[in-house]
């Protein structure tokens, strides 16, 4: 997908107002400028930010269209991918969770610059976010599936929709998680990379093993 195709894809799939375009463009500019201070995206993707990061994040919304109510929680947001993109494209309340101080400061700067009043940041580990069921949980390049669920299951109930971009090893990761986690899982193809996939899950819960109490 070229950068032009990425913008066209956004136009086709979302009602992108002039104001929203400006927000997304501002985010891209802030992200690239911040790359002089911290490593937020792979250097090789710098020239392909719209395809590799903005659309790659925005596509998660297309899998969350039938999600129930409740805030969107993005685990390990880093530079705000997908959190900031989701907040720019929807009004759903959103919490970005990020443990690294420098990244939290950048997220705060972006939230203020883009006036994303419905977006909040939790500067700390996912494991200590206060309990409460999210409508949607996303996590991009955050942790392998078993650790991801272990760290965030207190933020979900049976209605929570999990949208988890997982690259080329989605199916393998899913198989690895199955002995410990049950739920309704399916794997969707990524629009930005035909070989990459997104795990979409509902009703995720731990399978208790004998002797674990
Ligand atoms: C590889 S980066 C990916 C960032 C972003 N989601 C993206 O796709 O560009 C993973 C991020 O998760 C954060 N992280 C890892 N473990 C965490 C935890 N337990 N709680 C909160 N943040 C965590 C790291 O600090 C890092 O910013």
Q: Which residue has the tokens 């009043």?
A: 117
State in Å: Cα 65 to ligand 1 middle: 25
Structural domain 3-206, CATH architecture: 3-Layer(aba) Sandwich (3.40)
Residue nearest to atom 1 of ligand 1 (CA): 141
Query: Is the minimum distance from the CB of 76 to ligand 1 under 6 angstroms?
Result: yes
Q: Where are the alpha helices (DSSP H) in 48-185?
A: 49, 56-63, 83-89, 101-113, 145-152, 170-177
Is 194 in a helix, a strand, or coil?
coil
Quick: pLDDT tens for 8-45: 999 999 989 999 999 999 999 999 999 999 999 999 99
Residue nearest to atom 15 of ligand 1 (CA): 76
Show binding-site residues for S-adenosyl-L-methionine.
Answer: 76, 81, 126-127, 140
State in Å: Cα 79 to ligand 1 middle: 9
Its pTM surpasses 0.90 = yes
Mutate to test the pocket of ligand 1, among 99, 107, 192, 198 (most ligand atoms within 8 A of CB): 99
State in Å: Cα 117 to ligand 1 middle: 22
Query: Is the minimum distance from the CB of 147 to ligand 1 under 6 angstroms?
Result: no
Which pairing describes strands 181-189 and 197-206: parallel, antiparallel, or unpaired? Answer: antiparallel
Quick: pLDDT tens for 35-84: 999 999 999 999 999 999 999 999 999 999 999 999 999 999 999 999 99
In the chain, where the domains are located: 3-206
Cα separation, 10 vs 21, in Å, equals 10
What is the pLDDT, as a whole number, of residue 210? Answer: 55
Is residue 135 over pLDDT 70?
yes
Is residue 212 over pLDDT 70?
no
Quick: pLDDT tens for 136-152: 999 999 999 999 999 99
State in Å: Cα 141 to ligand 1 middle: 7
Quick: pLDDT tens for 185-210: 999 999 998 889 999 999 999 997 65
H or E, element range at 166: strand 161-167
What is the pLDDT, as a whole number, of residue 194? Answer: 87
Please, what is the average pLDDT of the chain?
Answer: 95
The closest alpha carbon to 156, from 117, 196, 120, 184, belongs to 184
């Amino acid at each position: 997908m070229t950068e032009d195709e990425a913008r066209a894809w956004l136009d086709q799939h979302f009602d992108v107002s002039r104001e929203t375009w400006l927000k997304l463009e501002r985010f891209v500019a802030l992200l690239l400028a911040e790359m002089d201070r911290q490593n937020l995206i792979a250097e090789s993707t710098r020239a392909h930010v719209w395809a590799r990061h903005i659309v790659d994040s925005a596509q998660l919304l297309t899998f969350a269209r039938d999600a129930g109510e409740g805030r969107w929680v993005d685990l390990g947001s880093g530079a705000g991918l997908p959190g900031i993109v989701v907040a720019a494209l929807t009004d759903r309340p959103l919490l970005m969770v990020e443990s690294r101080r420098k990244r939290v400061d950048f997220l705060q700067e972006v939230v203020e610059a883009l006036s994303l009043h419905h977006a909040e940041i939790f500067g700390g580990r996912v494991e200590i976010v206060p309990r409460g069921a999210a409508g949607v949980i996303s996590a991009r390049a955050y942790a392998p599936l078993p650790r991801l669920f272990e760290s965030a299951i207190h933020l979900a109930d049976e209605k929570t929709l999990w949208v988890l971009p997982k690259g080329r090893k989605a199916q393998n990761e899913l198989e690895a998680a199955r002995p410990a986690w049950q739920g309704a899982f399916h794997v969707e193809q990524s629009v930005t990379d035909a070989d990459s996939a997104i795990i979409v899950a509902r009703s995720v819960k731990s399978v208790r093993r004998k002797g674990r109490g």
